[in-house]
Structure 1
Amino acid sequence: MEILRYAAFSADPAGGNPAGVVLDATGLSDAEMQRLAAEVGYSETAFLVPDGDGHFKVRYFSPKAEVPFCGHATIASAAAYAERHGPRILHLETRAGLVEVSTKMHADGTTTATLISVEPRTKPVSASDLAALLEALRWTSGDLDATLPPRIAFAGAWHPIVAAASRQRLANLDYNMAALASLMAQRGWTTINLVHRESALVFHARNPFPPGGVVEDPATGAAAAALGGYLRELGLVTPPATVTVHQGQDMGRPSLLTVNIPAQPRTGIAVTGAAVALT
């Protein structure tokens, strides 16, 4: 068994979100996968079990717990597979549902991958949950962008989407980790997707991730897909639309996520990014 290490959503090893990848995890127990993910120490490690003709069963583990779906580890897994076996469409049976991911190998040596999420959806966030979330973040209602209402969004995992009125508010991330971790555990939230809208189709994002044992995720593909579904469902973009998400700059690991939002309602969101091997 080989544990590969890739940074997703960047062509530069100094950027993006590192992920562990095991392309053949056949026979590994849940406890063994959890132990290996903790040893790797990245926010997630993907464990793939081949199921024939480009089909895989996939499990994702953070250092502390299993998550139903992880976008950056999916991008990393597809790139790792393509660099060993050639680009093709992979069909990944995740705990959140079937995710299709394709890869391209470019003339400059860059490998990119595009995942198609499960059907996205959103639901309201209660006033009490929003108050508790803002308190844990050490934000106030005055920090919010009124044009982007808070929602709980899903495209494989649940993420509250909370929009900051200014880039400065987003840059100043100093939250109560214990309080946020407790709230997220109670509600089943994977990360908190904090965003700022720079322009109609350009966003900046930060994703606190205390359930995974890390302060912040430098690139969160599942949250980007959830954001795409949120924007379409609430009529905040005119689909088909391509949204650019910048993440990781404030923590020194710049990442670039491209989110393609189809016009058809209830269809999956496409999230594209580069991936590069880490030595």
Structure 2
Amino acid sequence: MKIDIPIINAFVDEHKGGNPAGVVLDAQQYSQDQKQRIAASIGLSETAFVSPSSVADFKLEFFTPTRQIAHCGHATIATFCYLRQIGLLPNDQTSKETIDGRREILMQGDMAYMEQSAPRYIELDQAHRDRALGSLGLEPSDLLEGAEPCVVNTGNSFLIIGLKDSARTKSIRPIMTDISAISDEYDLIGYYVFCPEAVKAGRDAGARMFAPRYGIDEEAATGMAAGPLACYLRDKLKIQKHQFLIEQGYFMSPASPSVIDVKLQAEQGSIISLMAGGKAAVSETRQLEI
């Protein structure tokens, strides 16, 4: 059987760049093994499989080339922008079912925003901090002042590492085996490394994401990591804002410019939820035989 799979670039920056995800509709007809094989054949960091849900408007399952993952930001944004573009999403308020429950989705024009949970933080001891820096070819002196590495979870866990400037961020030399080992120990999707310097004015940070544990050496846009970073910027670095623009993909080779808009909801000084979103565009259609 041949199937056509649209490839959707999510979090495009002014209609360019973004992070590609496969979107497979009517996925209820495929077994879990078939879904994994499809994702491996497409070879992108994540592929979303869309099927009916009894608790939300759509059920979404996410697969990397090597395993299933609970949440995926860019594949969610890709899916809902695509559903809107092909006329299957008439309402601005919609929802997805994932492995661990229902999440709200908000459409604003041609942008899609996904709900994430309140942040949970895990501090690293010095030994693990030094190991993490070593896995990137960095020294403690490279860290942004006041930005101690920290695991942050708003649905998925990422190790957030703040560096002083863009030069250090560009010069990272990742040792994928070491990153994967630390990711196993902390049950991470991967590392989200940022600096306060962005390429374009008005942006709050430039970031890179490494997730070799899930078969992803580097990713151009990661909505489920930008959410934790926005929480970190507010809670740990005391940047008292409720909206953050995170750049990603600019420091990759080749570059794939992306921008993620994160809106925080706080009550009595504490973040209780957030919405992370952006735009998406179809880049191509691939045909697979399964």
Same fold by TM-score greater than 0.5? yes
RMSD between aligned residues: 2.1
Task: Quote the offset at 1:52 in angstroms.
Answer: 5.2
Structure 1 residue 120: Cα displacement: 2.2
Q: Which runs of 5+ in 1 are unaligned?
A: 106-110
Partner of 2:74: 72
Match of residue 108 from structure 1: none
Single out whichever of 21-30 and 73-82 deviates more from structure 2: 21-30
Kindly, what percent of the aligned residue pairs are identical? 29
How much has 1:50 moved relative to structure 2? 1.2
Per the alignment, residue 216 of structure 2 pairs with 214
Aligned equivalent of 2:281: 276
Is the partner of 2:27 in helix, strand or coil?
Answer: coil
Q: Report the counterpart of residue 190 of structure 1 in structure 2.
A: 189
Match of 2:22 among 10, 20, 23: 20
Partners of 1:27 and 1:168 in 2: how far apart? 48
Residue 39 of structure 1: how far off its partner (Å): 0.8
Residue deviations 1:70-102 (CA, integer Å, cap 9, x gap): 100010011111112244222112224422112
Cross-structure match for 2:172: 173
Give me the TM-score of the superposition, normalised by structure 2.
0.87
Contact 1:11 1:275 (C-alpha < 8 Å) held by counterparts: no
Q: Give the match's secondary structure for 1:5.
A: strand
Structure 1 residue 212: Cα displacement: 2.7
User: Aligned residue for 1:203?
Assistant: 205
The equivalent of 1:33 in structure 2 is 35
Match of residue 248 from structure 2: 247
Q: Give the SS at the match of 2:28.
A: coil
Distance 1:224 1:129 in 2: 22
Indicate the SS of the match to 1:208. Answer: strand
The aligned counterpart of 1:233 is 235
Q: 1:232-251: per-residue Cα shift (whole Å, max 9, x none)? A: 33362224x21111110112
- For 1:213 and 1:77, the matched residues in 2 are separated by 21
CA–CA separation in structure 1 for the residues paired with 2:227 and 2:264: 9
Q: Is the 8 A contact 2:56 2:97 kept in 1?
A: no
Alignment correspondent of 2:260: 257
Output the CA distance in 1 between the equivalents of 2:100 and 2:196.
28
Shift of 1:257: 0.8
Instruction: Confirm or deny: 8 A CA contact 2:58 2:95 kept in the other structure.
Output: yes
The alignment partner of 1:267 has SS state of: strand
| Amino acid corresponding to residue 150 of structure 1 in structure 2 | P
User: 1: CA distance between counterparts of 2:34 and 2:276?
Assistant: 30
Distance in 2 of aligned mates of 1:277 and 1:124: 39
- Residue 16 of structure 1, CA deviation: 0.5
Task: Name which of 91, 94, 97 aligns with 2:98.
Answer: 94
| Cα gap change, 1:275 to 1:87, in 2 (>3 Å) | farther
1:148-159 equivalence runs, <5 A: 148-159=147-158
**1:160 Cα deviation after fit:** 0.5
Q: How many residues align?
A: 273
* Superposed displacement of residue 148, structure 1: 2.0
User: By how many angstroms is 1:223 displaced?
Assistant: 0.3
Measured in 1, the distance between the counterparts of 2:147 and 2:13 equals 31
Partner deviation per Cα, 1:80-136 (whole Å, 9 max, x = no partner): 11112244222112224422112244xxxxx31111112322121222221211111
1:249-278, Cα deviation, whole Å (9 max, x unpaired): 112100011111222234221112110011
Q: 1:213 to 1:205 in 2, by over 3 A?
A: same
Equivalent-residue separation in structure 1 for 2:183 and 2:13 (angstroms): 32
Instruction: For 1:236 and 1:171, locate their aligned partners in 2 and report how far apart those are by CA, in whole Å.
Output: 25
Paired residue type of 2:156: A
Q: Is 1:129 aligned to 2:132, yes or no?
A: no
Q: Is the 8 A contact 1:228 1:259 kept in 2?
A: yes
Moved more, 63-72 or 10-19: 10-19
Letter in 1 for 2:244: V
- Distance (whole Å) between structure 2 residues aligned to residue 96 and residue 144 of structure 1: 34
Does the alignment pair 1:147 with 2:146?
Answer: yes
Deviation at 1:183, TM superposition (A): 2.0
